[in-house]
Each structure stands twice: as structure tokens, then as C-alpha cells.
């Protein structure tokens, strides 16, 4: 059934369904709030004033996990490759690719994606893609990144997002919306809003969501939430209706006529994109999140640590002696460490040890930390805290063998970024006002071009562009250096003769400078000296290629004893705490430094 938001009956049904969906989403928002409080720790903001009530976080595993996931999945700004199935459009595709990458840089899309990944760690990541002057979203405050008319992407908090909870899949939803607050004066002076509806609105300066009674997470550290803003505000919501292809702007919590009704001329999937890092739940539209699976173990580990701390603080040593042994006790009390002291009857003088950390609880705590690391997807390896081998290749083999879960999350994030970039490309293609300047080099020449509305001919879909985001994953300097070395040894060196015949050469001086930078060893440039600067050296001589040299390679395998991995050392420690006796090899391992 097609809904008409201007009809009071249809609008009432829509608002009733939205209120039902908000109530069904409330448990997810509440558990998200609890997990975010674990993530920020006990001493964040006003939370430091009620430590005992909140149960102190001693080992903040949630923060470490969230930080590691964000760095692993969305460390860098995405760049896209734009290709076309039509060979004659290859140059045009490259031009559009440069324009889109410049737009991605201008709107700081990498920060939006990091925020979405962090939200998806706790529950669900949401990003809205829209044209900045379309009236679909008014950002709180002033954002200098937003230029009127340009495609834009924004991360939406779960507190401000609602969608059809009756649907079992995102493609089946009947509506999705996000709330936001805008100054009352702004909507009063904006011509896109119905002036009769604006007059019926009562502005408010209260940040509490009065019509539902919920307290958004943003109020966590604001103390008195009823303090007035600098100016009266109004809470609005933009409701996207997929079947009707409409975006309706309404006042939140009131059955007033719409402020505006606009046809959605953007991509057919709508303005909202959702991100989940875990497998979907059958017949449920909200997915399970990594934090939901890890919070239980995080609570157990911190509960054990709090208990062990209390036990350790209660531990005390009490010297005692039997009646008649006062002189022995006095002499022992005056004796210094290691001093020989006469004792007439040593059996009547002793030290009573009381309290202390329970060894069973300590062993269980070690086991729970190992299980947490396993459930988080080998967190130590993802964070670079685990054991490392002598070569990067061995580390990559180890990491590749244990990171299938990480690969699944990377696929989800890359697909999520692809859809966002594709929608931004669609909006850029259909934007009849935006001009983007591009600059690229061919050899030693620099060319400047401009993406203008006049260059857009036909429909975006007719060109069959394929957008593929890359460069989002973090690469350490050692990985970059390893890739460079592999390219030189596996590609350039075997083709050195063809390279020189084509007028090419390997710039050794530049190679030394890159190695010095990536290895963080500037002294390399002091060790390797060149008589002439790069600009004064003669060019290659293709007509006299060098004779190939015979290369002899020798592989040497060494076994270096280490203190073992964190997991193996933890197993030995649990064995000792349980009363077991480690063998000679395990004892020697504990005496050496930990691997990595």
C-alpha cells in the first residue's frame, strides 16, 4: 500500500509504527550504552565520581579490542579504482576516478568510516549519504567540510536512528529515519519548510528525549541535562520511505503535517547504509556484534581482578612467638636482612601468613584472558602484541592462518565502503553545480583538469562503472618496505635488460632514501654516499645493457630459543598455580624473555 504522508490517517499509522520500532530497539541502545561505558573506563568524565557504584574497570579489554578492530579495518582513507567495461571510456573513467577520490578526501570519509566501524563493534554502524543542500540533514553546529550542493556522508548514532523492526531483512524495510536538532530560527527562515507547520512548532532547549523518556548516550557526561542551549532548538526527523521513494521531514514526537516532502532522486538503495561486523541473526534485522559476545568475559575478568586485588590488600604477615621466647623474638626483630642471629628455640618463633590471592582464582583468570583473546579473533596478533618471527613473511603466514574472522570483517567493511563510495559517485555524477579540480602527472609534466557538470553525458548506469575501494587497511612501514623489495627483486631485476632497453633504470639513491625513511634509520644516508646528486647523474644507456650476473642464493635456517608465546607461558603459569610441576623445558622457557 502506498502511503501519503500528507494524509493524517496514513501519517498516524506511520508514527505509531515508528514508536513501536523505537521501543523494540530500546534494549539494544541500553546495552550499547553499557558497553560504551566499559569502553571508556571508570575514570572517564563524571563517571570517576561513582567508582564503587559502577564497578571499577581494571583491565580495559573492550577499549583495546575496539581500538584494534578500528585500526585493522579502517586505518586509512579509502581510494577507489573506477573502471568501465567499454575500452573507449578508459580515460574518462580515470578522470572520474580522480574527481571522486578528491571528493572523498574533501569530506574526510575515512573519519566517517572509522566512526561506523566503532559503532558496529558495539551494535550497528550507520552512515547517511546525501547532498549537503538537499535539506535531508542539518548538522549540529557548523561543519566547515560541508559545501552546499556537494555529496556528503555522515555517521549516524544508534540513539538517533530508527528503522522498521518488523522487517526480517534490510531490503524489506518500509521506512528508516534519523533524528537531529536544529535551531528554531533556522527552520523559520528556510523556504523549504512549510511556514504554517513551523508556526505550530514549540522550540525546546532540553537535550532529553521527552517524548520517549530515553536519555541518549551523548548525555553521559553532561551532568544537569536540562541546562539551556545558547538558542532554542527543534528536534526533527527525516523519514525515508523506500516504496514511495520519498524523504519526509517531520517534527519528532508530534502528529503534525510534514515540514517538507521531497522525492528521493538518489541511489535506489536510499540514503542509509548499515554495517555489521558479525554474521546476521536468522529472522532478525539487528545483527549480533563483537562487543555483545565479549562483554561477559570482560566482566568476569575484571570481577576476578577486583577480587584478587582485595585479597592481595588483605594479605599480611604476622610474626609470633610462644611464651618464654621473648628474647628470641626480640633478637629476630632487631636483625637485618641476611644477618646471622642466635635463636635458642627456632620452633617457638615463626611468621603467620594470612590472606593473599587465591591460586585457583588466579589460574582461572589466566584461562579467561586466553579465552577472551581467542573469542576476539586472536587479538594479540591483530594488535601487533603477539609473538613475531625473524621475517615478515613468516609473520604473514602466522597471521593468515589465524585471521579468517578478521578477513570476514574486512570483507564486510570494504563492501560497506564500496556502497558508500558508489552512492557518492552517483550523486557527484548527477550534481549539476559542483566543480572539482584535478591534478596529475605524466612523466615530468603536470596537467590540471576540472570535473564540470558539462562533462556529464547520459546516465551514470549506462557507463557500467565499477568502483573498488582499496588502501583502507593499515600497512606498517616494514610491510611497505617488504612490498617494495619484492617488487624490485621479483619484477624489476628479472626484467632489468628490458628495463634498460626501454630507457628505464633503478634509482639507487632514491631507494636508499626510501629505506632510510621506512626503517626510521636516517644514518643509512650517511653510510651510502653518492658523488653526484640525482639531477646531475647521466641517464641510462640502453644500447649497452650489462651482462647478467650469476646470483647464488643460500638459505640458512636458525633455531633461536625464546621464552615462548604468551599463551604457552600462561599455560605453564596455570600449571604451577594448580600445584603441578613444570618439566625442564618449561622451566627453561619461563627463565627467558617472552617471544616478540
CB of 409 within 8 A of CB of 277? yes
pLDDT of residue 574: 66
The answer to whether residue 590 scores a pLDDT higher than 70 is no
Give the lowest-confidence range in 166-175, 284-293, 560-569. Answer: 560-569
Confidence bin at 123 (pLDDT 50/70/90): very high
- What is the distance of C-alpha 523 from the center of its chain? 35
Highest average pLDDT, of 112-121, 132-141, 453-462, 579-588, comes from 112-121
Please, what is the average pLDDT of the chain? 78
Question: What percentage of residues in the chain have a pLDDT greater than 90?
Answer: 22
C-alpha–C-alpha distance, residues 126 and 122, integer Å: 12
pLDDT band of residue 595 (cuts 50, 70, 90) is low
pLDDT over 70 at 93, yes or no:
yes
Range in 334-338, 390-394, 438-442 with the lowest mean pLDDT: 390-394
**Mean pLDDT calculated for residue range 534-545:** 53
Q: Please report, rounded to a whole number, the percentage of residues in the chain having pLDDT higher than 70.
A: 72
Identify the CA nearest to 138 among candidates 176, 96, 192, 86.
Answer: 192
Q: What is the distance between the alpha carbons of residues 410 and 404, in angstroms, rounded to a whole number?
A: 10
More confident residue, 409 or 136: 409
Distance (Å, rounded) from C-alpha 253 to C-alpha 433?
36
Q: Alpha helices of 78-225 — where are they, by DSSP H?
A: 90-106, 109-122, 184-188, 195-199
**What pLDDT digit, counting tens, does each position of 197-233 carry?**
988 888 865 554 545 556 778 777 765 555 556 778 8
Q: What is the pLDDT of residues 43-80, one digit of tens each?
A: 887 654 444 556 888 999 999 999 999 988 888 888 88
Q: Is the pLDDT of residue 116 over 50?
A: yes
If one compares 327 and 544, the residue with the highest pLDDT of the two is 327
- pLDDT category at 118 given cuts 50, 70, 90 is very high
pLDDT of res. 117: 94
- If you write DSSP's letter for every residue of 89-112 in order, what string do you get? GHHHHHHHHHHHHHHHHHTTHHHH
What whole-number distance in Å separates Cα of residue 153 and Cα of residue 146? 10
Cell triple for 155 = 555517521
> For 417-572, where are the E strands, in sequence order?
436-442, 445-451, 465-470
Amino acid at each position: 500500500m502506498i502511503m501519503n504522508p500528507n494524509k493524517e490517517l496514513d501519517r498516524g499509522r506511520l508514527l505509531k509504527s515508528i514508536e513501536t520500532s523505537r521501543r523494540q530497539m530500546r534494549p539494544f541502545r541500553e546495552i550499547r550504552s553499557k558497553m560504551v561505558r566499559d569502553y571508556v573506563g571508570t575514570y572517564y568524565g563524571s563517571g570517576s565520581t561513582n567508582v564503587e557504584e559502577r564497578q571499577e574497570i581494571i583491565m580495559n579489554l573492550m577499549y583495546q579490542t575496539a581500538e584494534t578492530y578500528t585500526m585493522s579495518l579502517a586505518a586509512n582513507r579509502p581510494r577507489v579504482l573506477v573502471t568501465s567495461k567499454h575500452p573507449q571510456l578508459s580515460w574518462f573513467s580515470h578522470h572520474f576516478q580522480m574527481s571522486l577520490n578528491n571528493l572523498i578526501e574533501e569530506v574526510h570519509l575515512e573519519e566517517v568510516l572509522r566512526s561506523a566501524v566503532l559503532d558496529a563493534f558495539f551494535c550497528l554502524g550507520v552512515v547517511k549519504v546525501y547532498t549537503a543542500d538537499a535539506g535531508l540533514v542539518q548538522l549540529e553546529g557548523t561543519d566547515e567540510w560541508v559545501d552546499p550542493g556537494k555529496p556528503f556522508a555522515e555517521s549516524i548514532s544508534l540513539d538517533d536512528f530508527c528503522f522498521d523492526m518488523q522487517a526480517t531483512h534490510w531490503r524489506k524495510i518500509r521506512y528508516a529515519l534519523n533524528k537531529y536538532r536544529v535551531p528554531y530560527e533556522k527552520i523559520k527562515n528556510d523556504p523549504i519548510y512549510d511556514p504554517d507547520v513551523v508556526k505550530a512548532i514549540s522550540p525546546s532547549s532540553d537535550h532529553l528525549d521527552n517524548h520517549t523518556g530515553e536519555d541518549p548516550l551523548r548525555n553521559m557526561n553532561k551532568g544537569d541535562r536540562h541546562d539551556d542551549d545558547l538558542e532554542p532548538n527543534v528536534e526533527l526527523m527525516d523519514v525515508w520511505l523506500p516504496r514511495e521513494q520519498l524523504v519526509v521531514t517531520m517534527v519528532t514526537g508530534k502528529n503534525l503535517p510534514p515540514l517538507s516532502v521531497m522525492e528521493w532522486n538518489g541511489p535506489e538503495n536510499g540514503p542509509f547504509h548499515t554495517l555489521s561486523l558479525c554474521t546476521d541473526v536468522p529472522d532478525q534485522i539487528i545483527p549480533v556484534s563483537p562487543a555483545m559476545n565479549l562483554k561477559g568475559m570482560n566482566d568476569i575478568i575484571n570481577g576476578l581482578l577486583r577480587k584478587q586485588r582485595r585479597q592481595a590488600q588483605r594479605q599480611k604477615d604476622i610474626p609470633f612467638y610462644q611464651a618464654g621466647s621473648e628474647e628470641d623474638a626480640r633478637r629476630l626483630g632487631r636483625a637485618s636482612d641476611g644477618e646471622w642471629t642466635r635463636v635458642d628455640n627456632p620452633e617457638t618463633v615463626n611468621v603467620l601468613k594470612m590472606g593473599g590471592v587465591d591460586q585457583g582464582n588466579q589460574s582461572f583468570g589466566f584461562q579467561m584472558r586466553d579465552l577472551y583473546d581467542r573469542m576476539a579473533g586472536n587479538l594479540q596478533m591483530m594488535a601487533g602484541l603477539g609473538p613475531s618471527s625473524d621475517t615478515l613473511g613468516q609473520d604473514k603466514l602466522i597471521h593468515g592462518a589465524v585471521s579468517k574472522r578478521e578477513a570476514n570483517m574486512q570483507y564486510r567493511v570494504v563492501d560497506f565502503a564500496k556502497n558508500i563510495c558508489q552512492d557518492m559517485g552517483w550523486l557527484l555524477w548527477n550534481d549539476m553545480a559542483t566543480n572539482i579540480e584535478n591534478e596529475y602527472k605524466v612523466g615530468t609534466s603536470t596537467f590540471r583538469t576540472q570535473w564540470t557538470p558539462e562533462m556529464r553525458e547520459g546516465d551514470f548506469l549506462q557507463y557500467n562503472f565499477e568502483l573498488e575501494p582499496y588502501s583502507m587497511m593499515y600497512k606498517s612501514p616494514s610491510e611497505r618496505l617488504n612490498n617494495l623489495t619484492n617488487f624490485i627483486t621479483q619484477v624489476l631485476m628479472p626484467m632489468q635488460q628490458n628495463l634498460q632497453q626501454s630507457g628505464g633504470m633503478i634509482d639507487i639513491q632514491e631507494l636508499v632514501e626510501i629505506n632510510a625513511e621506512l626503517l626510521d634509520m636516517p644514518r643509512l644516508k650517511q653510510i651510502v654516499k653518492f658523488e653526484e646528486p640525482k639531477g646531475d647523474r647521466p641517464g641510462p644507456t640502453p644500447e649497452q645493457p650489462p651482462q647478467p650476473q650469476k646470483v647464488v642464493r643460500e638459505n640458512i635456517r636458525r633455531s633461536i630459543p625464546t621464552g615462548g608465546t604468551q599463551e604457552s607461558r600462561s599455560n605453564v603459569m596455570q600449571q604451577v598455580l594448580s600445584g603441578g610441576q613444570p618439566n625442564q623445558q618449561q622451566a627453561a622457557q619461563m627463565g627467558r624473555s617472552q617471544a616478540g
